[in-house]
Structure 1
């Protein structure tokens, strides 16, 4: 059975109680529209100030039930193996006790299993296919029905958020400024949602975070920056800060793309490849790797926001962003979910062991 919101929070408390020397519970500052607080579990034996960090998100989209369970399971696996001095195995992908120790002692893993607890609770009790958070419907939109509530949190970040102004009209960017869009309403302003601001808070208050992974379902694929346009490494001025591109950004098959330094792109692809190799070793499933734009053009997403920060704020940490789209359905039977959880766990550990 999938974990509900209360069970996820209980698991975080219990893991910290059992492994206090290797964990810390972090409480973000913003409660949700329905008054919930969803916490993070930092795993690592050293101070977060002394090591590099990976922020791993789950449950951003309410109907995607597997990712929160996967992050709880990964935390439990990793902490138990470290405590017992054993390795971990997921199919033919395996990690030695020394590698487990390396992750615990050499990194800070910030697990945020359920970013959107209101949405998950609603999906699990009222409308299984609900995707957004539970922001109340704006005044004047109540006639539109239940879909006028909620914001797609993964379109709410401050990265090219205003798609109507920042993209070509025919770019087909997958977001919406319509509060009654049942799936992809971007919200009334960038970072308007408390859940979004909690992720921003995690990045702001933990400058050690150099990688962000947002776990979703279900394609499957492993995505890296950028999602706004095709990647290009030769024209630094063609970037998300350039207003001259606002009328043309996001179109396919033109000569314009989003700048990414060659070394960053090379690193992003290499690390994604390690994750995909680990997934494949679990039971032979090949997720594949591509830039997020290859799926469809997006704005306001967590992975692009995380990476964009160091371009706009020189003091910000460079944080490579990834989205893992796991499995092939939002709520598979739990027996299948357990296989997908192993794939996600294998991938995240591969990332942790290959970053430097």
Structure 2
């Protein structure tokens, strides 16, 4: 969604929790889908890490924590988790990671902790810090899979139910997840309620001569910083709707270079760390949409030479036509990939509609028809195999949960859901991610 920076101290949005409801990893989260009763309070940073630790400790046989190697600008560590099949048992022996317990070695490159070739899906949330609920809903969904697997039961999200067999199918795919890719941004947003989108890199800050305390030029939009047509001034037509910005004051500021930010480098590291990953979801809010395919331009499957690496098309790329068949450019995607992406997106949308958690949606779009974008996560994940044939092809979906229509005109920051919407979003994300994993397993 586009920028919105209205500060607020009083709003009807879901509150942010204080303290740590998971008590340093000793209380295990349990989502709505497996019969839990989560509190309608957004996770703070400490709780996200504590919840991950609790899951890894409780379900040691089927999980592993990992630390991404690049520290954030405020020296935070980004933590992820892997899930594989197996019901899991309470942990018996665990190592310490900086005061937390973990079921794995702290060094992600330790030969005693090899990358799991069985991990086929990567789930990511929290890239835009103001999109409240993303890390929470992903964590609760992962907890649902683990609890249901242990107890031999299915899952239910509103009106959509899944069998115990489907739970095992999802877990057998193998999952890596980073629920909070932008921990600096999340901490700042929750501390200030400034509707903060970017990370907290101060390198490009431009002091405001009138309001020196204004820090809007701090930070990079991480979803414009990936190494896929990053330099929009080079790859896109000057007539295209701006797919990013070179202005540090913009909420779409693309940074100083492709993968200049530790957060995007951590995301890329996951794809290298788990080289069998072939499916990817980046969780966003609140546009009520499933976004597939290229964000560079509309898709075509007839001409492989018409692609973002071909400079012949730099002067026309990104001008999205009303009628794609008459457009001067279309981004090449093989038909089999196009078909797989549409199937995944439509199944996710169908699952959410079946859950009854949101009226009239989600809608399914080609990425560029939603918003032409350079340097996005899904384009990076997919195009790696075109740039380097030794890389795995990764089919990605941008999953926009929530519904901005409910709150856009009545809350200071429409990216902060109401408590009621927060609970509905949890069910929506659960159904959508479950359909994604089942579709990926079916097509793998």
| Number of the residue aligned with 1:262 | 335
Counting only pairs closer than 5 Å after superposition, residues 86-235 of structure 1 correspond to structure 2 as 86-104=153-171, 106-138=172-204, 141-143=206-208, 145-181=214-250, 183-235=251-303
Cα deviation digits, residues 57-111 of structure 1 (max 9, x gap)? 111001001111111110111111111111000112111111112222x211112
SS in structure 2 of the partner of residue 80 of structure 1: helix
Q: Distance in 1 between matches of 2:242 and 2:80?
A: 31
Q: Please tell me whether the aligned partners of residues 173 and 296 of structure 1 are also in contact (alpha carbons under 8 angstroms).
A: no
Cα deviation digits, residues 10-52 of structure 1 (max 9, x gap)? 0000000000011010110001000111211111138964535
- The reply to whether residue 300 of structure 1 matches residue 369 of structure 2 is no
Q: Please tell me whether the aligned partners of residues 281 and 396 of structure 2 are also in contact (alpha carbons under 8 angstroms).
A: yes
Unaligned runs of 5+ in 1: none
Q: Please tell me whether the aligned partners of residues 137 and 179 of structure 1 are also in contact (alpha carbons under 8 angstroms).
A: no
Unaligned runs of 5+ in 2: 1-40, 87-113, 322-326, 405-414
Cα deviation digits, residues 114-165 of structure 1 (max 9, x gap)? 00000000000114311000001436x2236311100000000001000011
Q: Distance in 1 between matches of 2:263 and 2:433?
A: 23
| Number of the residue aligned with 2:14 | none
| Number of the residue aligned with 1:42 | 82
Q: Distance in 1 between matches of 2:123 and 2:168?
A: 19
Give the structure-1-normalised TM-score. Answer: 0.96
Q: Please tell me whether the aligned partners of residues 115 and 273 of structure 2 are also in contact (alpha carbons under 8 angstroms).
A: no
**Which among 289, 310, 313 is matched to residue 364 of structure 2?**
289
SS in structure 1 of the partner of residue 57 of structure 2: helix
| Number of the residue aligned with 1:344 | 429
- The reply to whether residue 353 of structure 1 matches residue 419 of structure 2 is no
How large is the Cα RMSD of the aligned pairs?
1.4
Whose radius of gyration is greater, 1 or 2? 2
SS in structure 1 of the partner of residue 174 of structure 2: strand
Q: What is the CA distance between 1:333 and its match in structure 2? A: 1.6
Q: Please tell me whether the aligned partners of residues 357 and 424 of structure 2 are also in contact (alpha carbons under 8 angstroms).
A: no
More helix by share: 1
| Number of the residue aligned with 1:325 | 400
Q: Runs of 4+ in structure 1 displaced over 4 angstroms?
A: none
Q: Distance in 2 between matches of 1:77 and 1:135?
A: 35
Q: Please tell me whether the aligned partners of residues 48 and 208 of structure 1 are also in contact (alpha carbons under 8 angstroms).
A: no
Cα deviation digits, residues 140-196 of structure 1 (max 9, x gap)? x22363111000000000010000111000101331011122x11000111000000
Q: Distance in 2 between matches of 1:252 and 1:8?
A: 39
Q: Please tell me whether the aligned partners of residues 158 and 357 of structure 2 are also in contact (alpha carbons under 8 angstroms).
A: no
**Which among 45, 56, 60 is matched to residue 5 of structure 1?**
45
| Number of the residue aligned with 2:58 | 18
Q: Distance in 2 between matches of 1:116 and 1:52?
A: 23
Give the structure-2-normalised TM-score. Answer: 0.77
